[in-house]
Chain A
Amino acid sequence: MAAIREHESARGRTIARSPVFTVFALAVLAILIAGVFTQGDRERISYLEAQFADTSTSGLAIVPASCPSDPPHFTGDTGLPNCSTPSCPSGFTLVGGICVSTQCPVGFTFTNGSCVFNGCPSGYNYEDGECVLVSCPLGYALQGGACVFVGCPNGYKLVGVQCVLDIECPLVCSGKNLVNSCNGQTVQICAYQCSSGACVAAPVPEATLTAQPSLVRSGNRSVIKWVVQYVSTCTVVGSNGDSWASEGDGTFDEESGPILSETTYTLTCDALNGSDITRGVKVGIIPTFEEQ
């Protein structure tokens, strides 16, 4: 291998030193220098056309152009030149003679001929170099990867492309209903009550469950009484199979069925504030004693 390398190296040196190579190198250099240094020396040549202005019958100056004189660039080309001033279609701008898109992706702005990232807008996440839509603004629904307008909710109006709170149509109370004052549409039904155009949060619910008497002789009955406040519905279920229901606040009572053994009654209510409330009471049996 070393012998081969030595041989090739020696061959290279021989070529480099040959007069033919010197002449070739000189020729290349001469061409380069001649070309480079003669290019800038050409005189500006002004032909007739640049100075030509014809005269009309009354002596006014007519100036023809010559744009369509360029021939086709290849056989079969229509040969019809574009004589319009170089310009770009809408959404593009001319940069260095090339039409570059000014329609940048979301989160990018067109700056100095290119799209520069300047942060994703609300509802978008930056993933793999682009802003990806993850949620839509009010009044829009995400459909097929894009936000599609589906209509502004009640109390909102469309301004441009955004749903904004319709401050000219305040919400008013109508009983427990929250109503748009412009179109009369119910915006919301308040769970507890409506006051000054807004739903008022319900207080903490209250409930008591009692049995009178709480001790009965086997086979007798008791009166089950429940008092509830700030609830929507309640049920009372006894372990002996009794069950009753009530709606809203108030005092309610029911006579039990025959009580044959200790019986547990359970009150369960749905409270207006969204919570559940549970109470319980037992009705016992009076023991009987037999004399021996």
Chain B
Amino acid sequence: MRTKSLKNTRHTRVVLPILAIAVFLFASGMMAEARRLIEENIVFRFAPSAERAMTYGNRYFSARAKNAYDIERAEYFYNQALVLDPQTPYLQHQLARIHFLKGDFNQALARIDLEISDNPSVSPSSFYVRGLIEGYMGLYDAAASDYEKYLVQDPKNWAALNDYAWVLLKAGRFEDARQVTTRALIDFPGNAWLLNSQAIALFELGRYQEAFESAEKAVPAVEALTEEEWLVAYPGNDPRIAAEGIATLRNSIIHNKEKIALRLSE
């Protein structure tokens, strides 16, 4: 009788503080966090599905999910989805993006090719991603072709037009690039990326004064750029590196302006 009483007391001593701490964590506004952890660690373990894995993966792979962004965890869930159902729509697309961000362009290209060939309702975004990967790989003609496929569906997307201009510039098609940026700037006259790309196209065409004017407009545009805007432009990146991304663009624009000014003074 005495032994049982002691045992009961010991259980109570252990359980009650645990419950108290659990209640404290819940009450501290961590309900959503708790739900997420329970879903991913318990629910997914007992009832796994590719769809669920995709949902969890997408949670961690968005520049707009400021606190949740975790590309490794996203990749983990996408790989889980791959095991459960490799035909899951947009799964290869997401994996391609992750490989691309990590600089593994061959893997990225293989994944996006799979997405485009296997997804019966392939998204125009998949062609955009393939264009991006090909551009980074130096396959400019292929990239231009994929960007064109995307732009057929979304002809006024400034980012797609800017990237199309990028591969055109790299392919030596300066006049085409100038025309693309000029067209895009009608709708987005204060866009720092487009102004920069247009300045380059004009410079390569020998139109230095106009190139300088465009570069000059790009400076206040990039100075006014917010982290939120940068994250819209680069949705796969860690939101905490937005400032670094803005700095890259700002430095590029200032470098270009100085170089154009130097040429004008010669």
Does A2 touch B at the CB level, under 8 Å? Answer: no
CA distance A69 to B129 in the complex (A): 5
A70–B235 touching, CB < 8 Å: yes
A17–B240 touching, CB < 8 Å: no
B22–A65 touching, CB < 8 Å: no
Does A63 touch B at the CB level, under 8 Å? Answer: yes
A64–B22 touching, CB < 8 Å: no
**Neighbouring A residues of B135 by C-beta, 8 Å:** 64
Total A-B Cβ pairs within 8 A: 226
Given contacts A22-B15, A54-B166, A72-B90, contact A62 B125 (CB under 8 A): no
**Neighbouring A residues of B123 by C-beta, 8 Å:** 71-72, 77-79
A: which residues have CB within 8 A of B?
A: 13, 16-19, 21-22, 25-26, 28-29, 31-36, 39, 42, 44-54, 56-73, 75-81, 83-86
**Neighbouring A residues of B93 by C-beta, 8 Å:** 71
Contact with A along B239-260 (1 / 0, CB 8 A): 0110011001101110110011
In B32-74, which residues have CB < 8 Å from any A CB?
33-34, 36-38, 41-42, 58, 62, 67, 70-71
A61–B159 touching, CB < 8 Å: no
Given contacts A32-B34, A42-B70, A61-B255, contact A67 B159 (CB under 8 A): yes
Q: Which of B36, B172, B253 contacts A35 (CB 8 A)?
A: B36
CA distance A28 to B31 in the complex (A): 13
B36–A62 touching, CB < 8 Å: no
B238–A60 touching, CB < 8 Å: no
Nearest A residue (CB) for B201 = A56
> Interface majority SS on B: helix, strand, loop or mixed?
helix
Given contacts A31-B37, A36-B33, contact A67 B233 (CB under 8 A): yes
**Neighbouring A residues of B241 by C-beta, 8 Å:** 44-46, 50
Given contacts A61-B256, A69-B132, A69-B236, contact A53 B8 (CB under 8 A): no
Tell me, rounded to whole Å, the shortest Cβ–Cβ distance linking A18 to chain B: 8
**Neighbouring A residues of B25 by C-beta, 8 Å:** 29, 32-33, 36
CA distance A44 to B244 in the complex (A): 11
CA distance A143 to B19 in the complex (A): 66
A35–B169 touching, CB < 8 Å: no
Does B197 touch A at the CB level, under 8 Å? Answer: yes
B169–A62 touching, CB < 8 Å: yes
Classify chain B's interface size.
Answer: 35 or more
Nearest B residue (CB) for A55 = B170
CA distance A84 to B193 in the complex (A): 13
Does B30 touch A at the CB level, under 8 Å? Answer: yes
**Neighbouring B residues of A69 by C-beta, 8 Å:** 97, 125, 128-129, 132, 235-236
CA distance A29 to B204 in the complex (A): 62
B248–A63 touching, CB < 8 Å: yes
Pick 28 A–B contacts, CB within 8 A, sort by A.
A19-B11, A25-B15, A26-B18, A28-B38, A32-B34, A44-B238, A46-B241, A47-B102, A48-B103, A51-B248, A54-B170, A57-B204, A60-B199, A61-B253, A65-B158, A66-B132, A67-B157, A68-B125, A68-B128, A70-B125, A72-B89, A73-B58, A79-B124, A80-B125, A81-B125, A81-B235, A83-B160, A85-B228
**Neighbouring A residues of B62 by C-beta, 8 Å:** 70
Does B162 touch A at the CB level, under 8 Å? Answer: yes
Does B85 touch A at the CB level, under 8 Å? Answer: no
In B1-34, which residues have CB < 8 Å from any A CB?
7-8, 11-12, 14-15, 18-19, 21-22, 25, 30, 33-34
Tell me, rounded to whole Å, the shortest Cβ–Cβ distance linking A37 to chain B: 11
Tell me which of A46, A63, A80 has the highest count of chain B C-beta atoms within 10 A of its own C-beta. Answer: A63
Q: Which of B19, B129, B249 contacts A25 (CB 8 A)?
A: B19
Given contacts A32-B22, A35-B36, A61-B252, contact A47 B204 (CB under 8 A): no
Tell me, rounded to whole Å, the shortest Cβ–Cβ distance linking B184 to chain A: 11
Q: Which of B7, B14, B30, B197 contacts A32 (CB 8 A)?
A: B30
A50–B234 touching, CB < 8 Å: yes
In B208-243, which residues have CB < 8 Å from any A CB?
228-229, 232-238, 240-241
A65–B159 touching, CB < 8 Å: yes
